[in-house]
Amino acid sequence: MPAFTASAPGKIILFGEHAVVYGQPAIALPIPQVQAKVIIIPDILGNPGSVRILAPEINLDSQLDALKPNHPLVAAINGVTATLGVTHIPACTLKLTSTIPVAAGLGSGAAVSVAIIRALSAFLGTPLDDVQVNKLAYNVEKIHHGTPSGIDNTVVTYSKPVYFMRQQPIEIFNIAKPFTLIIADTGIASPTALAVSELRKAWQKKSTHFERLFSAVGSLTRTARQAMEIGHPERLGPLMNENHELLIEMGVSSPELDRLVLAAQASGSLGAKLSGGGRGGNMIALTEPDHTESISHALHQAGAINTIIVEQGARDLS
Ligand code: PMV
């Protein structure tokens, strides 16, 4: 029996994080430079149901049934078996590796879920389609995020630029002219669930104030989509700066993120903002291709532990 593999990309949120939880649109882009990969190796001599889970990066080497039912890996696996009506998984080893930093706003949890769901459903003989994969990955996101909007699992499942609104059909859009982004990591792990739940408490106390911030973000997001679709990506820069200011007002930035955003702006970036849950994790800066090196250098000087340069819209990402 052959091994079954699947991978899924990381992602960034270009505009609209947090506001998307409250019904505003957000834009997310896949980042194939970082990936989660799953390989399932059948164990032909093992007993049915004997599933070994290996995830070296998180020091996990365990039998599936020894893990708690609300463990995200277990939730992803159980989602597949429940959907396919499988009671015993044939004996196997499921090995998970990932180059996506954890709790950094790059969609690590969603990518792991999507890769597991795809590899396991193929291993069980019925590869699930994107709609089903997305739905199951969303259920796992609820463990990670509490009240997720669904944007992470969607962009990771479809691996295309996504314009996303809760409860609305998924809109995949076209980037008419390529542009370059630098992703810089503060090195500070920041669970999204915490930022999301604290913002919710603040919103409950001052809903009018926060609704105003969310709707301002929504307008920026709509303008940004249009700029990308008509081939004016340079217009994203000022919109990113404005979005970052609004995220500061929401209380989801941090001194480290602000320092990186300022460093990018001061070293020739067209615009910069935090990306994802905030409070740590990653920020993104829009740059002319000629300036990537100097801006990356400035970001490292300002405390970034890693930078990734990505070109968006340069080729079909399918
Ligand atoms: O997973 P992250 O850190 O990129 O954050 C997801 C974006 C949020 O809007 C903060 C939460 C959500 O569920 O949409």
Ligand 1 lining (C-beta closer than 6 Å):
13, 17-18, 20-21, 105, 107, 145, 148-149, 151-152, 192, 196, 276-277
**Ligand 1 center from residue 190 Cα (angstroms):** 11
DSSP, collapsed to helix, strand or coil, labels residue 15 as strand
CA 113, CA 159: separation in Å to the nearest integer? 14
Rounded distance between C-alpha atoms, residue 70 and residue 27, angstroms = 29
Res 318: pLDDT: 44
Judge contact between 25 and 123, C-beta under 8 A: no
DSSP state of 166: T
Atom of ligand 1 nearest to the CA of 18: 9
Contact 58, 78 (CB under 8 A): no
d(C-alpha 233, C-alpha 237), whole Å: 8
Measured CA to CA, the distance from residue 158 to residue 170 in angstroms comes to 10
Farthest CA pair distance, the chain: 62
196's tokens: 């999301």
Placement of tokens 């998924």 in the chain: 170
The Cα 21–Cα 188 span in angstroms is 23
DSSP for 126-138, please give it.
Answer: -PPPHHHHHHHHH
Measured CA to CA in angstroms, residue 211 lies from 16, 24, 59, 182, 218 at distances of: 13, 10, 42, 30, 10
- Measured from the Cα of 275, ligand 1's closest atom is 4
> Which strand (E) or helix (H) includes residue 185?
strand 179-185
Q: Judge residue 93's burial from the number of C-beta atoms within 10 Å of its C-beta, 0-12 exposed, 13-18 middle, 19 or more buried.
A: middle
Regions of the chain where pLDDT drops below 50? 317-318
Ligand 1 atom at minimal distance to the Cα of residue 148 = 13
Question: Please, where are the H alpha helices in 206-254?
Answer: 207-229, 236-250
- Count of CB atoms within 10 A of residue 211's CB? 15
Backbone angles phi, psi at 313, to 5 degrees: 80, 5
| Separation CA 283–CA 245 (nearest Å) | 13
Per-residue pLDDT at 100: 92
Q: Which of 27, 29, 196, 284 to mutate to test the pocket of ligand 1 (most atoms within 8 A of CB)?
A: 196
Residue 60 CA to ligand 1 centre (angstroms): 25
Strand partners, 9: 35
Q: How far is the CA of 118 from the centre of ligand 1 (A)?
A: 22
Mutate to test the pocket of ligand 1, among 17, 27, 147, 213 (most ligand atoms within 8 A of CB): 17
pLDDT at 49: 83
Backbone angles phi, psi at 54, to 5 degrees: -120, 125
Centre of ligand 1 to C-alpha 148, Å, is 7
Q: How many A from CA of 92 to the centre of ligand 1?
A: 33
| Distance of CA 146 from the midpoint of ligand 1 (Å) | 11
* Structure token pair of residue 118: 């795809």
Neighbours of 207 (CB within 10 A): 12
Q: What residue type is 184 in one-letter code?
A: A
Output the pLDDT for position 317. 43
Nearest of 104, 296, 97, 274 to residue 187 by alpha carbon: 104
Ligand 1 centroid to 45 CA: how many Å? 42
Segment (H or E) for 42: strand 26-42
User: Is 210:251 a contact under the CB 8 Å cutoff?
Assistant: no
